[in-house]
């Protein structure tokens, strides 16, 4: 379904890797709603070759940028300025922990890997906004979004140092969001999404068990990547102009549920459970 909510709007979408990626679905939905945008990802991700199919489908350019490189980001935003003049939205859909990838437990973190994952997953949001700020590329009323996870507020042991990265990411949204609002009339928010079966999601130890648990706890069930794309469109549209500096839970009610009847039932002392 599409409503033309983003007709005439231009943007940059970071982080579509393959068709499971949340950013992939966001790009498809933004296209359906009438937006034009540039797709970007780290050069190494582009070499995997799938992004070109999305670019073709959405009539977009692909410009590589490592989100930790100010030089790459500068070139990307210069290209966006040349193509569009000003833009209206940015999606940061980037996350990676070297410690998670290499199976290092939280109490035994490798600090060099920690620093790398923090830069990619959190500081890159500041780098992107700083690059956009210096070029004064955002139209007033524009919207900047990053994707996050509830492990920023509550402990999920297997989420490892990504929990700390997400807490930092959400803080950057508030801190930089103040200046964007005050001086440029632009919104900055994070969307805290349900567990979603993507490359990044499935990298977390015990993901399959956990996603089922979240499904059983959430009154509406887990929000899918497509649901998240729809929410991102709403946040990029003119319908949400006064929402800024918020962490917005998009999780079927998980974040406000203590326990569900299904979970209680699992632990009832019945013959089956003992
Ligand atoms: N999947 C989940 O369960 C879930 C839940 C909540 C939030 N999120 C967040 O959603 C966002 C998107 O993740 P996803 O689940 O779609 O997985 P994904 O693996 O499809 O996307 C992660 C993206 O980050 C990109 N990336 C990594 N290093 C980069 C770098 N140096 N420069 C630029 N890009 C880089 C990857 O190439 C990839 O496209 C992430 O921030 C993730 O933490 C995911």
> What atom in ligand 1 is closest to the CA of residue 150?
6
CA–CA separation, 127 and 90 (whole Å): 13
pLDDT (mean) for 224-229: 98
Reading phi first (left if > 0) and then psi (alpha if -120 to 50, else beta), residue 166 is in alpha
Is any ligand 1 atom within 6 A of the Cβ of residue 152?
no
Query: How confident is the prediction for the chain on average, in pLDDT?
Result: 96
pLDDT at 274 (0 to 100): 61
For residue 198, being part of any structural domain is answered with: yes
Statement: residue 271 has pLDDT above 70: no
| CA neighbor of 75 nearest in space, from 63, 85, 84, 83 | 63
Are 187 and 5 in contact, with CB atoms under 8 Å apart?
Answer: no
How far does the centroid of ligand 1 lie from the alpha carbon of residue 15, in Å? 6
Span from the CA of 33 to the centroid of ligand 1 (angstroms): 23
Is a pLDDT exceeding 70 seen at residue 264?
A: yes
Q: Tell me the CA–centroid distance for residue 94 and ligand 1, in Å.
A: 4
Helices (H), the chain: 22-32, 43-46, 51-58, 70-84, 98-101, 111-118, 124-135, 162-179, 199-202, 207-217, 225-236, 261-267
Tens of pLDDT along 42-100?
999 988 778 999 999 999 999 999 999 999 999 999 999 999 999 999 999 999 999 99
Residue 8 assigned as binding residue: no
Residue 272 covered by a domain: no
Residues above pLDDT 70, as percent of the chain:
99
Residue 203 maps to a domain: yes
Residue 55 lies in a domain: yes
What pLDDT, on a 0 to 100 scale, did the predictor assign at position 270?
77
Determine, yes or no, domain membership for 4: no
Closest protein CA for atom 29 of ligand 1: 42
For residue 192, is pLDDT > 70?
yes
Residue 150 Cβ < 6 Å to ligand 1? no
Provide the number of structural domains found in the chain.
1
* Residue of 128, 62, 89, 80 lying closest to 8 (CA atoms): 89
Residue 3 belongs to some domain of the structure: no
Q: What is the CATH number of the domain that holds 227?
A: 3.40.50.720
Domain interval for residue 40: 10-267
Give per-residue pLDDT as tens, 127-147: 999 999 999 999 999 999 999
Is residue 198 within 6 Å of ligand 1 at its C-beta?
Answer: yes
Q: What per-residue confidence (pLDDT) applies to 204?
A: 85
Burial of 219 (0-12, 13-18, 19+ CB in 10 A): exposed
Q: How many CB atoms lie within 10 A of CB 79?
A: 16
Which residues are identified as catalytic? 149, 159
pLDDT band at 201 (very low <50, low <70, confident <90, very high): confident
Instruction: Give dist(CA 61, CA 55) in Å, integer.
Output: 6
CB neighbours (10 Å) of residue 162?
28
**Is there a domain that residue 273 lies in?**
no
Q: What is the pLDDT of residue 215?
A: 97
Decide if 5 is inside a domain: no
């Amino acid at each position: 379904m599409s409503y033309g909510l983003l007709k005439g709007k231009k943007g940059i979408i970071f982080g579509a890797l393959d068709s499971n990626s949340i950013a992939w679905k966001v790009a498809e939905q933004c296209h359906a709603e009438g937006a034009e945008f540039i797709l970007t990802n780290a050069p190494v991700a582009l070499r995997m070759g799938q992004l070109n199919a999305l670019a073709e489908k959405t009539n977009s350019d692909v410009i590589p940028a490592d989100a930790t490189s100010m030089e790459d980001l500068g070139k990307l935003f210069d290209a966006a300025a040349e193509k569009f003049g000003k833009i209206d939205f940015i999606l940061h859909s980037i996350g990676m922990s070297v410690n998670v990838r290499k199976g290092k437990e939280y109490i035994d973190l490798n600090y060099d890997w920690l620093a790398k994952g923090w830069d990619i997953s959190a500081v890159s949001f500041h780098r992107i906004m700083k690059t956009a700020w210096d070029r004064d590329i955002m139209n007033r009323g524009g919207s900047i979004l990053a994707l996050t996870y509830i492990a920023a507020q509550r402990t999920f042991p297997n989420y490892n140092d990504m929990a700390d990265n997400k807490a930092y990411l959400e803080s950057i949204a508030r801190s930089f969001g103040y200046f964007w609002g005050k001086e440029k009339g632009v919104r900055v928010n994070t969307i805290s999404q349900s567990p979603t079966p993507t490359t990044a999601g499935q990298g977390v130890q015990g993901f399959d068990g956990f996603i089922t648990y979240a499904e059983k706890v959430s009154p509406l069930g887990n929000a899918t990547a497509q649901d998240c794309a729809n929410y991102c469109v709403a946040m990029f549209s003119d319908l949400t102009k006064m929402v800024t500096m918020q962490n917005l839970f998009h999780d079927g009610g998980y974040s406000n549920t203590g326990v569900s009847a299904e979970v209680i039932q699992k632990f009832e002392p019945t013959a089956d459970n003992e």
